[in-house]
Amino acid sequence: MRFLFLGDVVGRPGREAVTRLLPKLRDVWKLDFVAINGENAAGGFGITEAIYGELTDAGVDAITLGNHAWDQREALVFIERAPKLIRPLNYPQKAPGRGAALFEAKNGQRVLIINAMGRVFMDDLDDPFKAVEREISACGLGEGCDAAVCDFHAEATSEKQSFGYYFDGRFSLIVGTHTHAPTSDHRVLPGGTAYVSDIGMCGDYDSVLGMNKDEPIRRFLTKIPSGRFEPATGEGTLCGVAVEINRDGLAERIAAVRLGGVLEEARPAFWE
Using pLDDT thresholds of 50, 70 and 90, give the confidence band for residue 19.
very high
By annotation, the residues acting in catalysis are 68
Structural domains counted in the chain:
1
What dihedral angle (degrees, nearest 10) is formed by the CA atoms of 207, 40, 195, 165? 110
What are the tens digits of pLDDT across the range 163-209? 999 999 999 999 999 999 999 999 999 999 999 999 999 999 999 99
Q: Are 235 and 13 in contact (CB under 8 A)?
A: yes
Residue 22 exposure: Cα atoms within 13 Å on the Cβ side: 32
189 lies in some domain? yes
Rounded mean pLDDT, 140-150: 96
Is 90 exceeded by the pLDDT of residue 271? yes
| Domain of residue 194, CATH code | 3.60.21.10
Is 90 exceeded by the pLDDT of residue 92? yes
Is 90 exceeded by the pLDDT of residue 272? no
Helix-helix angle 157-166:128-138, to 10 degrees: 30
162 lies in some domain? yes
End-to-end alpha carbon distance in the chain = 16
pLDDT of residue 263: 97
In sequence order, what are the beta bridge partners of 231? 211
Q: Are 203 and 233 in contact (CB under 8 A)?
A: no
DSSP 139: S
215 lies in some domain? no
Is 90 exceeded by the pLDDT of residue 60? yes
Residue-number span of the structural domain to which 238 is assigned: 2-206+233-271
Q: Is the pTM of this model over 0.75?
A: yes
41 lies in some domain? yes
213 lies in some domain? no
Q: Is 53 helix (H, G, I), strand (E, B) or coil?
A: helix
Is 90 exceeded by the pLDDT of residue 258? yes
Helix-helix angle 11-28:49-57, to 10 degrees: 30
Please, what's the b/e burial string for 102-141 (b: 16 or more CB within 10 A of its CB; e: otherwise)? ebebeeebebbbbbbbbbeebeebbebbebbeebbeebeb
225 lies in some domain? no
212 lies in some domain? no
pLDDT of residue 260: 97
35 lies in some domain? yes
What are the tens digits of pLDDT across the range 191-203? 999 999 999 999 9
